[in-house]
Structure 1
Amino acid sequence: MATQQHVPDRTPSTEQSATRRNQTAHLLEPATKPDSRHAVLAGTTLLAVAVTLAAANLRISVTSLSSVLGDVQRGLTATSAWASAVTAAPSICFGLAALVSPWLARRIGGGPAIAAALAVLAIGLVVRVLAGSSLLLSGTFVACAGIAVCNVLVPVVVKESFPNRIGLITGVYSAAMAGGSAIAAAVTPPLETATGGWRPALAAWAIPAALALALWLIGARRDAEAVAVDRSAHGDRNLVRVPMAWVFTLLFSVQSVFAYVIMGWLPEILRDAGIGRDAAGVLLGITMVVAVPLNLVIPHLAAKLKAQSAVMVGLTVAPVIGVLGLMFAPAAVPLLWALLLGAGMTIFPVVLLMMGLRTRTSAETTQLSGMSQGFGYLIAAGGPFAAGLVRGLLGSWTVPLILVLGILAAQAILGWLIGRPRYI
């Protein structure tokens, strides 16, 4: 694979030498078992477009709701604890669903699993606006279950179907995700005004999800030939016992805390600083959209580097400045804070890229993606919930933002570790 040629093998050890001897012996033995094989989706332009449109829908359930969360809370006469639970729901559901996604892919195949996930997403977006606060929370869980499956399996499709363009396709995928979330954040408040309420404004986002499903069903066709699944040496490793897999998991967790605190609470932080509802929604949209050009460029460039540690640390500097701005002068230059926070979101596609670069096989990539996203999102779920709860108790965003700064410091350290050129 072209992008992995820059990742050298570690210095041979006795264990690695034994592994290579076992692999050689395996090649010399007569075949006693049939190869485990599965079909790979054809890496066509249409599949790339389907991946892009699917990605554009993977954050709209979060940013569309957060941009009108205050209105929804008042309309349902819900408590601040409920609002905190709604912001934490995506991370919890992402984690639980991500843990079963590899099993689902093995049972029905990656392509059908993604199709089913997009259908579940569209259904959840409609269901959550049909009744009161309990159904909204439940519908959000349903929608996020669909998102979680796509979160885990789409990077695997990218690795298998576009092996020589992992950096480019990951960048396009991540840019589409950022663009979709930005549009949902900016458009939902005026859409609420135009449609006469938050219910139709939120339900409207089921339409692009349905379109993504239709295109996926057309574009996700299989190659004529199946490929062998690597079950030797690394294909069946238990990554729970691999320390670097836990470094990935913790990194995914801390970057998720930052992202979902910002996506879930930035409009309320700005509104508490005196900025209007529509303007706050637009600023959240700017936060998300600034990542679009960066996502197109940075993963592609990072894939060409021998080591990515400096990139990981560098992507932490801008959001630190943005968080400090929110703490000390949120209404002074909110556009600048939004741009800096958005630049920090670019670490997400680089982490996805690293999962492909630091693993040897697609089976290992699936394992690492499922583990890091499953446990990572579950660990991260407490971040948005705690931020809203502390804000409700103290009446200030200072303490939650101080905690976010601590999270960013951990992100820099963990990013440095996984950026070193080696396989897990």
Structure 2
Amino acid sequence: MHGTEQGESRVGDDASAVSLVAGGALLAVAVVLTALNLRPAVTSVAPLLGDMRNELGTSATWAGLLTTMPGLCFAAAGLAAPRLAQRLGLGHVISLALVVLTAGVAIRAVDGPYVVIGATLLACAGIALINVLIPVVIKGSFAARIGLMTGIYTAALQGGGALGSALTPGLEGPLGGWREALAAWAVVALIALAAWLPAVRRHGGSWAAAATPTGVKPRSLLRNRLAWIVTLFFGTQAFLAYVVMGWLPQIFIDNGVGKVEAGLLTGLSSLIGVPVGLVISPLAARSASQSGWIITLGVTGIVGTIGLMLAPAAAPVVWSVLIGVGMSAFSLALTVIALRARNAEDTAQLSGMAQGFGYLLAGTGPFLFGLLHDVSGDWTIPFVMFLAVYAVQLVAGTLAGRARFV
């Protein structure tokens, strides 16, 4: 009898282990599919912006608002994300955000310029909530593999951004126009939602308990010096990334590159972050300091930027690859957020602060870059500003990469 009980116990333990592995795999798939949707709503617009303006009869101001709005929206919704997660539950907020994202991407294809603006705002609000909360999911559910899972997440995110800019121009013809090409990405968001809902049912309770312990008021990090350094690092790398996503196609087009090729080159700059993020994030997470990795990526991006500024048509593929490697600092920014916090609660607060205020800074990037281009009549002065922000990113990233806690 005793042997039978031990056998049944082992069978039960084995079944529990299988269930745990299956649950973790399901969550990992849901995270990856969700990440694939966090950039196409933004990157799919830039290659089609000229066609959109021509059909809608809009001004350069409208185009500037459309490219600037994602960062500003990410800031506002990002700051609200930790409080919403505390009240409604982490999993439920991400599910709701996916619904909002899907609706926004679909609705902006149905009417005129104001609907495009409003629906893009809606889609970006959904993205912003997910941006802040996914690092909390990774911290709570993959604590032993933060670097690996962050690398996978950022690789999927950047891969989605690359697909948005690379595939959307090619969809315009077969689907019948820019509206249909943009709306096609709503299907990908629905697939992510279908994967996310069962993951919420399995893990939602543990996330809620980990993110905000009962009876404990979340601490504010607004007076924490390290939190502001992490925020500046996140904000400056996002500033540069949104300038690249918003203006790189036009820079290439103005220098004689075709529209489809310009979209592919911009997609390449995002796609290169996939292998870089997968390799560097786990290695950086295991290092005592992430500063060396951050400096290496930053210097690589600066070299690509200088090449693009001085001779854009000479080696566009090389410049796109180097700039893409530099943009891979995004994966390290998310890794740093997780590593500079001791627990899931602090991760939620630091993620909300860094991404909220960081995207507020980033939102000014495309607008200022375009404004300087309009005022100066060429791309040199905007690139000087771009390089100045890169220098700030290197300093802030070096300080943020040191092994400390908020």
TM-score w.r.t. length of structure 2: 0.91
Q: Secondary structure at the match of 1:219?
A: helix
Q: Counterparts of 2:204 and 2:197 in 1: how far apart (Å)?
A: 17
**Which protein has the bigger helix share?**
2
Shift of residue 96, structure 1, vs aligned partner: 0.3
- Report the number of matched residues: 383
Q: Helix, strand or coil: the match of 1:130?
A: coil
With 73-82 and 160-169 compared, the bigger mean Cα shift is at: 73-82
Tell me what 2:348 maps to: 366
Aligned to 1:72: 52
Cα distance in structure 2, aligned partners of 1:197 and 1:121:
21
Matched, 1:165 2:151: no
Pick one of 359, 367, 370 that aligns with 1:377: 359
- In the other structure, the counterpart of 1:274 is 256
Conserved? CA contact 1:43–1:162, under 8 Å: no
* Aligned-partner Cα distance in 2 for 1:292–1:169: 13
Name stretches of at least 5 consecutive residues in structure 2 with no aligned partner. Answer: 1-21
Measured in 2, the distance between the counterparts of 1:284 and 1:224 equals 37
Match of 2:319 among 322, 333, 337: 337
For 2:257, the aligned partner's letter is: I
* Aligned partner of 1:180 among 160, 173, 184: 160
Q: CA offsets, 1:362-408, max 9 Å, x none?
A: 11000000011111111221111111122223321111111110011
Verify the 8 A CA contact 2:301 2:326 in the aligned structure 1.
yes
Q: Which amino acid in 1 is paired with 2:306?
A: L
In the TM superposition, what is the alpha-carbon distance from 1:225 to its structure 2 partner?
A: 7.3
| Residue 34 of structure 2, aligned match among 26, 42, 54 | 54
Q: Report the RMSD for the aligned CA atoms in angstroms.
A: 1.8
1:294 equivalent in alignment to 2:276? yes
Corresponding residue number in structure 1 for 2:223: 241
1:222 shift after superposition: 3.3
Could you tell me which of 103, 112, 117 is aligned with 1:123? 103
Contact 2:79–2:356 (8 Å) recurs in 1: yes
**Whole-angstrom CA distance in 1 between matches of 2:79 and 2:23:** 26
Q: Which residue of 369, 373, 386 corresponds with 1:404?
A: 386
Moved more, 331-340 or 320-329: 320-329
Counterpart of 2:139, as a letter, is K
For residues 62 and 106 of structure 1, the distance between their equivalents in structure 2, rounded to whole angstroms, comes to 28
How many angstroms apart in 2 are the aligned matches of 1:121 and 1:214? 14
- Greater mean alpha carbon deviation, residues 64-73 or residues 215-224: 215-224
Deviation at 1:356, TM superposition (A): 1.1
Q: Could you tell which deviates more after superposition, 69-78 or 237-246? A: 69-78
Shift of the 235–315 alpha-carbon distance from structure 1 to 2, 3 Å rule, reads: farther
Q: C-alpha offsets along residues 287-336 of structure 1, whole Å, 9 cap, x if unaligned?
A: 11111111111000001101111111111011111111121111111000
- The one of 60, 63, 71 equivalent to 2:43 is 63
Query: Which residue is equivalent to 1:264?
Result: 246
The residue identity in structure 1 corresponding to 2:96 is: A
1:252 aligns to 2:230 (yes or no): no
Q: How far, CA to CA, are the matches of 1:327 and 1:75 in structure 2?
A: 31
Deviation at 1:159, TM superposition (A): 0.4
Candidates 117, 133, 144, aligned match of 1:153: 133
Structure 1 ranges of 4+ moved more than 4 A: 223-232
Deviation at 1:235, TM superposition (A): 7.1
Match for residue 83 of structure 2 among 91, 103, 106: 103
**d(CA) in 1 for partners of 2:52, 2:370:** 15
CA contact (8 A) 1:50 1:220 kept: no
Amino acid at match of 2:89: G
Alignment deviations for residues 88-112 of structure 1 (CA, whole Å, 9 cap, x no partner): 1110000000011001101111111
1:233-275: CA deviations, max 9, x gaps?
Answer: x974320010111111111111111000000111001001110
Q: Verify the 8 A CA contact 2:211 2:348 in the aligned structure 1.
A: no
Q: Does 1:218 align with 2:202?
A: no
Deviations 1:104-157 (A, max 9, x none): 101111111101001100100011121111111111110000000000001100
SS at match of 2:404: coil
Letter in 1 for 2:227: A
Moved more, 201-210 or 42-51: 42-51
CA distance in 1, matches of 2:126, 2:204: 28
Amino acid at match of 1:210: L
What amino acid does structure 2 have at the position aligned with 1:241?
R
SS at match of 1:168: helix
Write the distance in 2 (CA, Å) between the matches of 1:402 and 1:285: 23
Deviation at 1:223, TM superposition (A): 4.6
Q: Is the 8 A contact 1:235 1:364 kept in 2?
A: no
Aligned-residue sequence identity (percent) comes to 47
Is contact 1:83–1:388 with CA below 8 Å preserved after alignment? no
Which whole-Å deviations, capped at 9, do the CAs of 1:45-100 have from their partners, x for residues lacking one? 01000000000110001110012112112221211121111111110000000011
Q: Does 1:199 align with 2:186?
A: no
* 1:211 Cα offset (Å): 0.6
C-alpha distance in 2 between matches for 1:172 and 1:346 = 12
